[in-house]
Amino acid sequence: MSEQVLDISLELQDGYRFDVDFGQPGVPALRVDEPEPLGAGEGPNAARLLAAAIGNCLASSALFCMRKARVPVRGMRVEVRTTLGRNEAGRLRVHDIEVTLHPAVPDEEQARIVRCLDLFEDFCLVTESVRKGIEVGVDVQVETPTTEEVTG
């Protein structure tokens, strides 16, 4: 199986605000930030990005299947509820994520989406990866700031 690598970079702006460069030409950076009191809440934080990624992936997988089955989807609304709580060590963690898809499909076509509803979750790479657990390697490489960065 061949692997595909996605390189994304984040650059600290100030406080806890980072700009995320997705490494895609024409795609603007996304501002992320921690909510108050830690940050200023000027963008989504990591938990919200995870919830959005899962919701988007599931919706896209369902939409792909329905379109492949030639079901006319007139729209799709997705609701994602993420519950945060403390673990045994008192650290805040994502406890669970509940996703509700609301595809707009004409009444006469709804019977045709049954097979898609049985299949689509398995094709969502983000949801299935999170469910199985993702190995995350961490490396810290300390850098010395330039004179300009220290005085600026």
Per the prediction, the chain carries an average pLDDT of 93
HSE-CB of 130 using CA atoms within 13 angstroms: 17
CATH topology of domain 45-134: GMP Synthetase; Chain A, domain 3 (3.30.300)
Write down the domain spans for the chain: 1-44, 45-134
The tens digit of pLDDT for each residue in 20-35 reads 999 999 999 999 999 9
Q: Residue 149: which pLDDT band, with cuts at 50, 70 and 90?
A: low
Write the pLDDT tens digit of every residue in 34-89. Answer: 999 999 999 999 999 999 999 999 999 999 999 999 999 999 999 999 999 999 99
Average pLDDT over residues 2-31: 96
| Whole-number Å distance between alpha carbons of 6 and 152 | 32
Distance CA(57)–CA(112), nearest Å, equals 21
